[in-house]
Chain A
Amino acid sequence: NAGVMQNPRHLVRRRGQEARLRCSPMKGHSHVYWYRQLPEEGLKFMVYLQKENIIDESGMPKERFSAEFPKEGPSILRIQQVVRGDSAAYFCASSPPGQLSRRNTEAFFGQGTRLTVV
């Protein structure tokens, strides 16, 4: 049973280019979360998605960032026109569906994508 898979592990982009980060959740998981970790900081929530739906994007920057989780295929975090401040580790996590009252939030994390903007 493969864990959460993220690719690429490392991504280098020049300022102004686009970055696409992919996340395949664990088998049977239909909830995906994206987090960003800036140097010397903890992880910060960005967005929560279910298949074909954005549930909570309260942590997403207003511009240049978007996320999707299509019916088929991985979840994608897209950053347009990257700037140096976007350099960070981006982590994806997934959790299974279930009744809210019984649901725990031990989300399983991928190994992350380290984005470097030069």
Chain B
Amino acid sequence: DQQVKQNSPSLSVQEGRISILNCDYTNSMFDYFLWYKKYPAEGPTFLISISSIKDKNEDGRFTVFLNKSAKHLSLHIVPSQPGDSAVYFCAASARFNGGTSYGKLTFGQGTILTVHP
């Protein structure tokens, strides 16, 4: 049972344009959402997060939007740069509803982003 889904395995974008990566979840207990970036042969690197009490969080070129009613979140990267090319993982946790396992993350399958110069 895939509780966090990233339905697009890959995305190709031109440098300078917007990249939009999407993520859907099914578990209504999730109350905190994160995006991680991963290069080959390296561990995931935290990018940005959002709490379920918000619908938008912005950090530089990265903005995450959360639509709780649709159980959907998206990551916008503007403008996209070739160095953004990596695998992006959406993750979710149940901070307050998960008891002591608040730090347990459920990951999507990842989306490979390629930004062309």
Interface bits A30-62 vs B (CB < 8 Å: 1, else 0): 010101000011111100100000011010000
Interface segment among B13-21, B64-72, B106-114: the answer is B106-114
Interface residues on B, range: 20 to 34
Contact B104 A45 (CB under 8 A): yes
**Chain B residues packing against A (C-beta within 8 Å):** 4, 6, 32, 34, 36, 41-46, 49, 89, 91, 93, 95-96, 100-110
Q: A100-B96, A105-B32, A112-B42 are in contact. Are A43 and B103 (CB under 8 A)?
A: no
**Is the C-beta of A107 less than 8 angstroms from some C-beta in chain B?**
yes
Write 29 A-B pairs (CB below 8 A) sorted by A numbering.
A4-B43, A33-B103, A40-B109, A41-B109, A42-B4, A43-B91, A48-B101, A55-B101, A56-B101, A95-B103, A100-B95, A100-B96, A103-B95, A103-B102, A105-B32, A105-B34, A105-B49, A105-B93, A105-B95, A105-B102, A105-B103, A105-B105, A106-B46, A106-B49, A107-B105, A108-B46, A109-B45, A111-B43, A112-B42
